[in-house]
C-alpha cells in the first residue's frame, strides 16, 4: 500500500490509521458524540424527520451495522451519525469510508477530517489506477471493521460519489464494492434514504432556524441476503447483492416521493 501513495497521502493515511485504533478511537468517538452530534443537531434538528429508526434500534445489539445510502450532499452521513450517537446507548465505533481525493491529499482535507468528522471519514478509497493497492487494503479493512461485534457502525454510498442531479429521487450507477464487503463480512445491512439536506453549511444552519424543506432520514428493516451470501464470491454475486440492497433504498425514495414531493 505504501508504494501506491504519495508522501503526503501516506502521511495522512498513517495518521488516520493511528487515530482509528484504540485507545485514540475511543477519545475521538467521545468527541463525535459530545461535540459533533451536538453541532449537527443545531444545524439540522428543527427540520429533521426520521422514519423507520426502530429497525436500527432492534438490530443494534445483534451485530455490526452497515448503513447503505444514497449520496446527495457532503453531510449525509454526518446527520446519520448524529442520530446514532443521540439515540443509541453504549459503546459505539463509527466509520465512514470516503473518496480519498481531497480529504487524504491535502492538509485542509486532513483538518476537516480531524475537526469536523473527528477522524470518522475512514478509510479512504481513491478509485484511481495508481492507487489500486491502497484501495485493496481499504476494502480489506472495511471487511474487518464490518465483521466486528455490536457497536461497530459503518456507512457507505454505493453510488461512489455525490449525485448532482437536481432530481432528489435519481440514482447514479451502483459500484459492486459494497456487495463485496457485505459478502465477506456479513454485517447487518440497513437500507437508508436521505433527502432535504443542503450542500452549503451556512444555508443549512439558516434554514434550520428560519424554516424550509424538511430533512428526511428513512431506514428500512435489515436486508435478508442469505440467498446471495451462499453464492460464490465473484463479481456477479457482488453486483447482485448491491442491486438488491439499493432496490430497497430506491423503495424508500418512492415512499419519500409519495409523502414530500410537490
Whole-number average pLDDT of the chain? 96
Q: 63 and 101 in contact (C-beta within 8 Å)?
A: no
Which pLDDT tens digit goes with each residue over 82-108? 999 999 999 999 999 999 998 999 999
Q: What is the CATH number of the domain that holds 196?
A: 3.40.1130.10
For residue 123, is the peptide bond before it cis, meaning its omega torsion is within 30 degrees of 0? yes
Look at the chain and report how many structural domains it folds into: 1
R_g of the chain computed on alpha carbons: 18
Beta strands per DSSP E along 32-145: 48-51, 65-69, 93-95, 98-99, 124-125
Q: Which three cell numbers stand for residue 222?
A: 435489515
Q: How confident is the model at residue 1 (pLDDT cuts 50, 70, 90)?
A: low
Handedness of CA 185, 189, 191, 192 (dihedral sign): negative
CA distance 111 to 206: 24
**pTM listed for this prediction:** 0.96
Mapping DSSP to helix (H, G, I), strand (E, B) and coil, where does residue 62 land? coil
- What's the distance, CA 249 to chain centroid? 14
Question: By residue range, what is the domain housing residue 188?
Answer: 2-260
Q: Which long-range contacts (CB under 8 A, 24 or more apart) does 227-231 make?
A: 228/179, 228/183, 229/182, 229/183, 229/186
Which pLDDT tens digit goes with each residue over 35-61? 999 999 999 999 999 999 999 999 999
Amino acid at each position: 500500500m505504501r508504494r501506491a501513495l504519495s508522501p503526503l497521502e501516506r502521511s495522512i493515511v498513517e495518521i488516520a490509521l493511528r487515530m482509528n485504533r484504540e485507545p485514540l478511537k475511543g477519545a475521538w468517538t467521545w468527541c463525535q458524540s459530545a461535540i459533533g452530534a451536538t453541532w449537527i443537531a443545531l444545524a439540522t434538528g428543527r427540520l429533521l424527520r426520521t422514519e423507520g429508526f426502530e429497525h436500527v434500534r432492534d438490530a443494534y445489539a445483534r451485530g455490526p451495522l452497515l448503513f447503505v445510502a444514497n449520496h446527495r450532499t457532503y453531510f449525509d452521513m454526518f446527520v446519520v451519525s448524529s442520530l446514532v450517537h443521540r439515540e443509541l446507548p453504549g459503546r459505539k465505533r463509527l466509520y465512514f469510508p470516503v473518496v480519498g481525493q481531497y480529504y487524504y491529499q491535502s492538509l485542509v482535507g486532513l483538518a476537516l477530517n480531524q475537526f469536523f468528522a473527528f477522524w470518522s471519514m475512514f478509510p479512504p478509497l481513491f478509485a484511481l489506477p495508481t492507487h489500486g493497492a491502497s484501495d485493496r487494503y481499504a476494502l480489506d479493512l472495511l471487511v474487518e471493521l464490518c465483521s466486528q461485534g455490536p457497536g461497530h457502525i459503518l456507512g457507505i454510498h454505493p453510488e461512489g460519489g455525490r449525485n448532482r442531479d437536481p432530481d432528489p429521487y435519481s440514482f447514479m450507477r451502483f459500484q459492486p464494492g459494497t456487495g463485496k464487503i457485505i459478502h465477506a463480512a456479513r454485517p447487518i445491512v440497513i437500507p437508508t434514504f436521505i433527502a432535504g439536506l443542503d450542500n452549503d453549511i451556512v444555508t443549512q444552519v439558516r434554514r434550520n432556524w428560519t424554516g424550509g424543506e424538511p430533512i428526511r432520514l428513512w431506514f428500512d428493516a435489515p436486508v435478508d441476503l442469505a440467498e446471495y451470501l451462499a453464492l460464490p464470491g465473484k463479481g456477479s454475486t457482488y453486483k447482485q447483492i448491491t442491486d438488491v440492497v439499493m432496490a430497497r433504498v430506491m423503495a424508500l425514495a418512492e415512499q419519500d416521493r409519495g409523502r414530500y414531493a410537490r
